[in-house]
């Protein structure tokens, strides 16, 4: 399946109050297609340049790096397509899918946890 086809499966856009739902759907779809490794860092970026014992570092970018970068940028674009404008502000400076995922997790996951704790406290006081 092409990455563009995944967008139709991602029906929830990330906003201020739905991180948990958005992250669940996003992870489920991407893990199902074995693509979430770019977001959680389990798929390592290959070396950009090849090293040679005889000549040292070669200046040409490796094919593996080019393929990894191309897929990573496509996945970053997919992630961005699932964000509302306000959430995009948190990934503007990100250069990889992992950076974007980490930035969104840092921004929204703590808010979700705080909201859950607040609701638990409110429930106990009732």
Q: What is the residue range of 72's domain? A: 3-120
Q: Which residue has the tokens 């759907």?
A: 25
126, part of any domain: no
- Give one word for 56, left, alpha or beta, with left for phi > 0 and alpha for psi -120 to 50: left
Sort 97 into a burial class: Cβ within 10 Å, 0-12 / 13-18 / 19+. buried
Q: Tell me, rounded to whole angstroms, the distance of Cα 97 from its chain centroid.
A: 4
CA 100/CA 36 separation, integer angstroms: 13
pLDDT category, 120, cuts 50, 70, 90? low
125, part of any domain: no
Higher pLDDT, 117 or 63: 63
CA 77/CA 20 separation, integer angstroms: 20
Domain count, the chain: 1
Higher pLDDT, 109 or 63: 63
Which of 12-16, 20-24, 51-55, 75-79 is least confident?
Answer: 51-55
pLDDT category, 113, cuts 50, 70, 90? low
| pTM reported for the whole predicted model | 0.82
CB atoms within 10 A of CB 101: 24
Q: Give residue-wise pLDDT tens across range 42-89.
A: 999 999 988 777 777 677 889 999 999 999 999 999 999 999 999 999
- pLDDT above 60 for 117: no
């Amino acid at each position: 399946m092409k990455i563009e086809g995944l967008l139709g499966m991602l029906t929830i856009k990330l906003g201020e109050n739905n991180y948990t739902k958005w992250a669940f759907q996003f992870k489920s779809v991407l893990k199902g297609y074995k693509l979430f490794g770019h977001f959680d860092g389990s798929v390592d970026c290959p070396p950009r340049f090849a090293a040679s014992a005889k000549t040292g570092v070669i200046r040409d970018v490796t094919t593996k790096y080019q393929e990894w970068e191309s897929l990573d940028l496509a996945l970053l674009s997919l992630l961005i397509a699932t964000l509302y404008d306000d959430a995009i502000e948190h990934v503007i400076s990100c250069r990889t899918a992992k950076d974007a995922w980490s930035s969104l997790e840092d921004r929204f996951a703590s808010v979700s946890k705080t909201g859950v704790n607040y609701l638990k406290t409110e429930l106990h006081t009732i």
